[in-house]
A = this chain, B = another copy of it.
Amino acid sequence: MLEDRRLAVLRAIVEDYVSTREPVGSKALVERHRLGVSSATIRNDMAALEEEGYIAQPHTSAGRIPTDLGYRAFVDRLSGVKPMSSAERRAISSFLAGAVDLDDVMSRSVRLLAQITRQVALVQYPSLVQSAILHLEIVRLGETRALLVLIADTGRVEQRVVDLPAPVSDDDIARIRSRLLSASAGVTCSDLGPAVEGVPAEFEPGLRPSVAAIIATLLETTLDTEEQRIVLGGTANLARYRDVFSTNLEPVLEALEEQVVLLRLLGEVSAATEVTVMIGHENPVEDLQGTSLVGTGYGRGESLVAGVGVVGPTRMDYPGTMAAVRAVAEYLSRILDEN
């Protein structure tokens, strides 16, 4: 009974604080929620909640605000699933349906998610390592240069310029291309190494270094940790939370410009199909410890190929954000499935 009410108080504090942005006091609380008890009782509960670390006061004689721990309890035990309206679902679906290629899908998704949540959205390209090769193309750029184009079954297209150790003719390029294609078509990128290992030896000695160079670039492109790409959008929404980041918007913006940082972030939450939340100090990136991350993985069926998420102030509408992230992840998975 008592425990129940305390949790209800915590929930009320979180909700009020999220919507008003101001420390919430005992009196305002009884007025806005039908708690059925007096403000003095609430004060006692609040004292207990503060004792346990769920809420804090910015200074004596101010209202309470939730701590990271308080938000954590709210997310874990209190926030019900907030289903999206069918209108919202339809909007998502129609917005993503018009995409013409993978780049388009990614950029539409990120804009959509940023718009729904009014926060910063992150969407990761399907990982190459988890994709299979659909097609390879080698285009001769000059005597000793070629362009390698790789098309994965997730829709990703990567290109790299290869500097060849020796001049190679158009005809040679065509032979190399056709052999590499037959060796790698349908192969998952992570298995590519063994699949093409013996290929150079099949060619004339003079050509072998060139073939090896092309293969090296191919493997680099697929295995390199830099193969991961993330797009982000809605940075402007950060400015909306000037009260939170007032003094130091800069480090947050800087962190968000670093691909490596974003990868680390999404890596933490994209391992599961459920939506995962990292609150404040739980955030692995130091400059983002004033923010929360809501994210999840997406992919074809059970094999997750990338992550999608949202970064915002710890004071955010968790149920709504979680629902939006989940919905977008579902649509992304569906689009991948269709290929």
Interface string of A217-258 (1 = CB under 8 A from B): 000000000000000011110111010000001110110110
Closest B residue, CB atoms, query A217? B100
A300 in the interface, Cβ–Cβ < 8 Å? no
Q: Write the chain B residue with the least CB distance to A220.
A: B100
Q: Pick the contact of A139 from B102, B134, B160, B236 — CB < 8 Å?
A: B134
- Chain B residue numbers with a CB within 8 Å of A101 are 159-161
Q: Which residues of B contact A137 (CB under 8 A)?
A: 135, 137, 149
A216 within 8 A of B: no
Interface residue? A151 (CB, 8 A): yes
Specify which chain B residues have a CB less than 8 angstroms from the CB of A157 in the assembled complex. Answer: 147, 149, 157, 159
Residue from the set A100, A134, A240, A256 with the largest chain B CB neighbour count within 10 Å: A100
Q: B141 touching A339 by the CB < 8 A rule?
A: yes
Residues from chain B with Cβ under 8 Å of A240 in the complex: 250
Q: How many copies make up the complex?
A: 2
- The secondary-structure label for the interface of chain A is mixed
A115 to chain B, nearest CB (A): 11
CA gap between A249 and B339 in the complex, in Å: 41
A258 to chain B, nearest CB (A): 10
Select the residue from A137, A236, A238 with max chain B CB neighbours within 10 A. A236
Please tell me if the beta carbons of B239 and A250 are within 8 angstroms of each other in the complex.
Answer: yes
Which residue in chain B gives the minimum CB-CB distance to A107? B259
A235, B249: Cβ atoms closer than 8 Å: no
Contacts of A134 in B (CB 8 A): 139, 141, 147
Please name all residues of chain B whose beta carbon is closer than 8 Å to the beta carbon of A235 when the two chains form the complex.
235, 253, 257
Instruction: Give per-residue flags for A34-59: 1 if the beta carbon is below 8 A from chain B beta carbons, else 0.
Output: 00000000000000000000000000
Which residues of the other chain, B, contact A103 by a CB distance below 8 angstroms?
A: 159
User: Which B residue sits closest to A100, measured CB to CB?
Assistant: B160
Which A105-122 residues sit within 8 Å CB-CB of chain B? none
A297-324 CB contact bits vs B (8 Å, 1 = yes)? Answer: 0000000000000000000000000000
Across-interface contacts of A239 in B (CB, < 8 A):
249-250, 253
5 closest Cβ contacts across the A-B interface?
A236-B253, A239-B250, A239-B249, A236-B254, A135-B139
Given contacts A236-B254, A239-B249, 7 further A-B contacts (CB under 8 A): A141-B339, A149-B151, A235-B253, A236-B251, A236-B253, A236-B256, A239-B253
15 contacts between A and B (CB under 8 A): A100-B161, A101-B159, A135-B139, A137-B137, A137-B149, A147-B151, A147-B157, A149-B151, A149-B157, A157-B157, A234-B257, A235-B257, A236-B251, A240-B250, A249-B249
